[in-house]
Structure 1
């Protein structure tokens, strides 16, 4: 009893202390009667109802959740996020507060704790919403409108971390709690409850038809010899059912080449054979291919040439000798010493800082060098470096890279329907988003499986294929995963055997996979852009469905 009384006193003291701390910012205050009567509440709504039209009758008590739902929350607070953080750490400046903290979301299903996330300090609350002054905010948890919000990725992480398993068919009570948090010297301090709310979610597994599940027959004029390999059709029907029921999300195609012949060609979610898929960074691998061909043709001496061979780097910002010594190989293997990392949003060379500029090559060559890196020393994903590779190829090939790629690579493979993106200088964007059909991506991957040969002709030098499909460098923080020349490497465990794969990979779960020990090439295209399930579900397709269908 004494301990309980002591705990009450401590909490009361903390509450009084925080209440005595003056606000850092003057907020928007209580905005209308709806706000006043719902302070501290997380409300749920279908789609984004403007605040000036929002009424208590719009508050959802129940909602049928589907893969294309528009479930939003609107949160009514009695203060701003910055002021809540100020109460937790009154000694920090306004700028320091917003760099150190934000909101913590906790998810419960049927009164059982499922998931908790301290959202990134950079997460904001939309146009007009300010963490300094706003006392109301709206975010979508799910959206069919093409919105791109941190809250939607948080919702996907909730589902991946237990939410999906908890939300089985039937009715479930979802509860969300929101608190402020601040992180100082690796210690996280969490404040009192700001707002909470509940909703009944109705979950219904979609009813599938025989058409949804059946294996799609390969239509004529594929450009491939059709395989007569006898695979387990039930496994592929299970795969189709998982995609149709949205257990596997946003998949647009699965193509399997077995022993050089077309075994499986499946399209989903509105895609078809003629669809040009945006496979994002999978297009980087083509840059490596064109580099190898250009070296064979003598336009580039070799991959050990340094940047100062191609550019007067003293004309760019942050010059130092270390920049001169960056090799083509370092950019091909994502191991240059540029201060650029796509994994770090605060990195000067992060790709998101490059795209708004009017000259991506200048952006890259202006970057400072990272004092902690050596050229060729450590893997760090760096999109901007691949743009430079495209630029130096374009400058050193007499008629330019676009025509060269068509003549030397695409025409020999009979690839005629494709679409490049371009840099602001109208040079083909070698960093990604080279759009092709799934069958044409399969030709490209099979070309590597063939050691660079297509229809008896050596398209890529075999020596370059071997260098590309080699463990050039270890990928940081990934066990037994490596990087070649703009190709990834991993192994997938199936029936106790590790199958080594080299593959092209792009945002959203797009992968072109070349098996080292099996006569297999697999193409998976997907639109799960920026979703945490993109690449994990590509692995699931292979290990749970395709390999069992082929090897069992």
Structure 2
């Protein structure tokens, strides 16, 4: 009898450890379907979606060909709900505390090598789903671009090593799921579900001409550099873009010592293509404000909003609004209750776009009393719209004509396209479209300390302020006047860059201590890989290829 009891205890503890089963702390969904009972603690890979009552074991895939415009889903069969698993990590916490501070941890393996681990954001999934669900579906690849956090998780895995691990041929792909809880420290539980599948990666046949370094054709505006580059590095980069290891890249342009060193186009783009670089246009607002100050149409960036608007005529008036400066909008450090980082913010840019008047939207916002003026960085697109409106009202003939006469014409830029606000003011929030070579001119203007063909377009003082550490974003990232700043470490050397940045991985890099400007354009808008792949391109290919 004692031996039988010991065996039963061992079986119970093994099940408990493997699948996190315990007496319910909160009431979870009952495991009723035979397919669920047979697969507790497993992740099943499926191509099509179907209700669980129609599942058959034969619906579960053992292999999958990795390609676009297809479907790959996982079904997760749990022995208990997430909240009950989290309870094992902190028995003193309430159910509310567990759902607010915990979620699933995903670990991805390729050929038994751990590639990527992510603690899913605690905001993903409702409290009810965390408390109750014991089976759920996650789309990883969707032919219909299904809106799901699962697709973004998959893309982050690809961006963080998965794409490089999935070389041509067959691979063993495995996922493990654990509960995690973020209290004073991050606590991680045992595996609550796991599964694996063979992934077949077809060989992508490309035109080898696309891999070769593109010959730079003669042009009027740039001298062509004869300096040596690491051709093999650039061709390796071109190959990865061609086979879509780096997706949606449309151009790479490198200027060194004021001469055109590299000019590469991809995915149908050409020298004459106009590129929608989204928030790269914000840096142009900084430039045009600097020119307007140089020309005397605006006194200084230290001027306050009350000098341009009757703030009392807008909603949520506070005397604090009177002291908001143009500089605080340039450095993203105003006290408006506006944040593009926080999706719940009143002043989030997505709340602005549907309105009839973007300036009114911004000036109607309340003050965020938790913010310290000019001390706290918080990305705020609507504030840059106000800057554009101030420039538009202050200069002769409006912002777009002023930009053409005082910036574009002096730089020899004749082909461009503005987006406009509902008030038909050139949109300084982003969307200004130029050719890649003309974006390079903009970057080179800053390397030239504001001069172009002997003419001082922008003052050196304004450039010094713009390309400086005005605000600290993180330990190694800073912000100037609508320019970002960071460092790349390559072969033990730090390369500091100031840069314009736009959604999808659009960048203009201005090297601080090197005579280099780099432009990268992309159409990877609203993807988790758009920005990250640009850093890899810089770190692993461009900087090593062009620096000694």
Cα offset for 1:301? 1.4
How far, CA to CA, are the matches of 2:301 and 2:512 in structure 1? 24
- When residues 70 and 137 of structure 1 are mapped into structure 2, their CA distance, relative to the original with a 3 A threshold, is farther
User: Map of 1:336-347 to 2, 5 A cutoff?
Assistant: 336-347=334-345
Conserved 8 A contact 2:163-2:245: no
Q: What residue in structure 2 maps to residue 239 of structure 1? A: 237
Mapped partners of 1:375, 1:109: distance in 2: 48
- Equivalent of 2:415 in 414, 417, 425: 417
Q: CA deviation at 1:124?
A: 5.4
Structure 2 distance, partners of 1:343, 1:434, is: 22
The yes-or-no answer on 1:477 pairing with 2:483 is no
Cα distance, 1:507 vs structure 2: 2.2
TM-score by length of 1: 0.82
The answer to whether structure 1 residue 227 and structure 2 residue 230 are counterparts is: no
Distance 1:421 1:81 in 2: 48
Instruction: Call closer, same or farther: CA 1:426–1:7 in 2, change over 3 Å.
Output: farther
Counterparts of 1:322 and 1:177 in 2: how far apart (Å)?
51
Work out whether residues 176 and 191 of structure 2, in 8 Å CA contact, stay in contact via their aligned partners in 1: no
CA contact (8 A) 1:40 1:75 kept: no
- Residue of structure 2 aligned with 1:354, choices 341, 352, 357: 352
Instruction: For 1:440 and 1:144, locate their aligned partners in 2 and report how far apart those are by CA, in whole Å.
Output: 36
**Secondary structure of the corresponding residue to residue 444 of structure 1:** helix
Report whether the alignment pairs 1:499 with 2:495. Answer: yes
**Residues 233 and 198 of structure 1: CA distance in aligned 2, closer, same or farther (over 3 Å):** closer
8 A Cα contact 1:512 1:524, kept in partner: yes
Q: Secondary structure at the match of 2:520?
A: strand
Say which of 390, 393, 400 aligns to 2:391: 393
* Residue matched to 1:202: 200
Partner of 2:286: 288
1:73 is displaced (CA, Å) by 0.8
Contact preservation (8 Å) 1:79, 1:134:
no
SS in 1 for 2:287: helix
Distance 1:183 1:7 in 2: 30
Distance in 1 between residues matched to 2:275 and 2:290, nearest whole Å: 25
What is the CA distance between 1:161 and its match in structure 2?
4.8
Distance apart, 1:298 and its partner CA: 2.7
Q: Does 1:60 align with 2:57?
A: no
- Asked if the contact 1:40/1:77 (under 8 Å) is kept, the reply is yes
The 1-side partners of 2:16 and 2:114 are apart by 26
Q: CA deviation at 1:293?
A: 1.5
Confirm or deny: 8 A CA contact 2:21 2:85 kept in the other structure.
Answer: no
Of residues 454-463 and 173-182 in structure 1, the stretch that sits farther from structure 2 once superposed is 173-182
Alpha-carbon distance, 1:358 to partner: 3.8
Provide the residue aligned with 2:155 in structure 1: 156
Map residues 317-396 of structure 1 onto 2, 5 A cutoff.
317-396=315-394
CA distance in 2, matches of 1:353, 1:191: 41
Q: Structure 1's 134 and 419: CA in aligned 2 closer, same or farther, altered over 3 A?
A: farther
Q: How many residues align?
A: 539
Is residue 80–residue 131 contact of structure 1 (8 Å, CA) maintained in 2?
A: no
Cα distance in structure 2, aligned partners of 1:431 and 1:244? 31
CA contact (8 A) 1:70 1:140 kept: no
Relative to structure 1, is the Cα distance of residues 191 and 500 closer, same or farther in structure 2, using a 3 angstrom cutoff? closer
1:64 and 1:460, CA in 2 relative to 1: closer, same or farther beyond 3 A? same
Are residues 263 and 114 of structure 1, via their aligned partners in 2, closer, same or farther at CA, if it must alter by over 3 Å?
Answer: closer
Per the TM alignment, residue 148 of structure 1 is displaced from its structure 2 partner at its CA by: 5.3
Q: Flag the 1:500–1:317 CA change in 2: closer, same or farther, 3 A.
A: same
For residues 456-511 of structure 1, give each alpha carbon's deviation from its aligned partner in whole angstroms, at most 9, with x where no partner exists.
322223332232223323x22232x3322111223333444433322111122221
Partner in structure 2 of residue 70 of structure 1: 70
Whether contact under 8 Å (1:81, 1:180) holds in the other structure is no
Larger deviation, residues 423-432 vs 259-268: 423-432
TM norm structure 2: 0.83
Would the aligned equivalents of 2:273 and 2:435 in 1 still touch at CA under 8 Å?
Answer: yes
Q: Give the deviation of 1:86 after TM superposition.
A: 10
Check conservation: 2:252, 2:264, Cα contact below 8 A. yes
In structure 2, distance between residues paired with 1:529 and 1:177 = 29
Q: Compare 516-525 and 83-92 and name the one that shifted more.
A: 83-92
* 1:107 match: 108
Q: Report how far residue 355 of structure 1 moved.
A: 3.2
SS at match of 1:441: helix
Unaligned 5+ runs, structure 1: none
After TM superposition, give the deviation of residue 15 of structure 1 in Å. 4.0
1:521 aligns to 2:517 (yes or no): yes
Equivalent positions of 1:528-543 (< 5 A) are 528-543=524-539
**Aligned counterparts of 2:8 and 2:525: Cα–Cα separation in 1:** 49
Deviations 1:199-243 (A, max 9, x none): 211135535543132111223446423223333333322222232
Query: How far is 1:289 from its partner?
Result: 0.8
Q: CA deviation at 1:405?
A: 1.9
Q: 1:225 to 1:146 in 2, by over 3 A?
A: farther
Is 2:173 the counterpart of 1:174?
yes
Deviation at residue 325 of structure 1 after TM alignment: 0.7
CA offsets per residue over residues 337-376 of structure 1, 9 Å max, x none? Answer: 2233333334433333433444332332233333343222
- Contact 2:181–2:188 (CA under 8 A) maintained in structure 1: yes
